[in-house]
Structure 1
């Protein structure tokens, strides 16, 4: 892990929640939130620099995530092209899926991972509620499901 990132995580008290890259599932399912909490693996940190996974223990995002192009180009009714860095949208060997609009083009998988930029401009918690609803009970919002809290995504916004 980079010295700067280690210092920030240690100083903030977040290092104890770090999910070690050597325990992250590459091709399988992620554990339920309850198991992650039990083992204090609540914080996922990813990098877009390939070499940092081996050298610093930071997960290389594209080993785990499938994502469509962002903006209008990535969301239309006839296609859902992947980002250049990402595997194709229908790749099932990557266990984290980031875009619900591409359900039909992504091997019918629902988004199970939410990345947040500019969180003050949108409603990240509502996006998590919708994703949980689709994954847990096939509803448009987790509020319509009867579930335990261990079955749903949790969103932490750190600024």
Structure 2
């Protein structure tokens, strides 16, 4: 999730209001895009999704940054994105075609001028900055129940990041929030989960929430590890231990080294959820791999 502004004669990541300032600038966009390119180059079985909050007004500058960083060759074509609420391609087909980068922009004009998908044609999203027992769409989004949009992005973080409160926010209340948004979206589970400080939680926290979403998407179970081999819906087994997603598969905030993963799980690579951390970090897609 990248906030992109024109600044110092270039494009910069910047969390600001209206324009970028020295105090709100983070770093040039190219630095992050080169990291994404390196990741895709060295991880041929991964798919990355980038949401751009787009404040770029100069024509073709954003597109040219994807060209100059070598990312255009990975871009999933706008022409293949479903506009009628139908299913997206599986990650296996994206890998086979090497179209492993999905990019959305908040600027509607760029869909016609630069071939970058307008987010609100494909995604519904709840209001960010709210930690309440309700789940309603943000102003730019269609209603969460709009089934012509295949993807659901769920925000769960306060307006002002607070590392001290993150353990509480990312634990029991997060588990409740994904159920609340499921109901609000017409019994559809979220495909994207945006949080702050994803490693700060108790009793599984963010990873338990992801396991639940993956399980519901894949087989209708409350944990991806309950899904029986070759099952689609309703084949749930008992969970003996909770595995976590491989940290290399999720986008990182600067919180020190990632935790060591447990042994790999068949279902992790088959999951449908996309997990991302809020602000300036791209999201890694984990669609069904079959």
When normalised by structure 1's length, the TM-score is 0.77
Residues 42-57 of structure 1 aligned to structure 2 (within 5 Å): 42-57=100-115
Query: Counting helix residues as a fraction of each chain, which structure ranks higher?
Result: 1
Q: Which structure 1 segments of 5+ residues have no match?
A: none
Q: CA RMSD in A?
A: 2.9
Asked if residue 139 in structure 1 is aligned to residue 221 in structure 2, the reply is yes
Distance apart, 1:4 and its partner CA: 4.2
- Which residue of structure 2 lines up, in the alignment, with residue 108 of structure 1? 187
For residues 39-92 of structure 1, the C-alpha deviation after alignment (integer angstroms, 9 at most, x for no partner) is 12221111101101111111110000011112326x41xx42210000011111
Measured in 2, the distance between the counterparts of 1:15 and 1:145 equals 36
When normalised by structure 2's length, the TM-score is 0.45
Distance apart, 1:105 and its partner CA: 1.5
Q: Which structure 2 segments of 5+ residues have no match?
A: 1-58, 155-177, 200-204, 230-265, 284-290
Deviation beyond 6 Å, 4+ runs, structure 1: none
Query: Counting strand residues as a fraction of each chain, which structure ranks higher?
Result: 2
Counterpart of 1:22 (choices 72, 75, 79) is: 79
Number of matched residues?
152
> How has the CA–CA distance of structure 1 residues 151 and 91 changed in structure 2, closer, same or farther, with 3 Å as cutoff?
same
Distance apart, 1:9 and its partner CA: 5.2
- Which residue of structure 1 lines up, in the alignment, with residue 142 of structure 2? 87
Distance apart, 1:10 and its partner CA: 4.3
Asked if residue 122 in structure 1 is aligned to residue 211 in structure 2, the reply is no
Greater Cα radius of gyration, structure 1 or 2? 2
Distance apart, 1:144 and its partner CA: 2.7
Counterpart of 2:272 (choices 135, 152, 158) is: 152
> How has the CA–CA distance of structure 1 residues 128 and 17 changed in structure 2, closer, same or farther, with 3 Å as cutoff?
farther
Distance apart, 1:109 and its partner CA: 0.6
Measured in 1, the distance between the counterparts of 2:270 and 2:67 equals 25
> How has the CA–CA distance of structure 1 residues 133 and 97 changed in structure 2, closer, same or farther, with 3 Å as cutoff?
same
Distance apart, 1:155 and its partner CA: 5.6
Measured in 2, the distance between the counterparts of 1:66 and 1:153 equals 15
CA contact (8 A) 2:192 2:274 kept: no
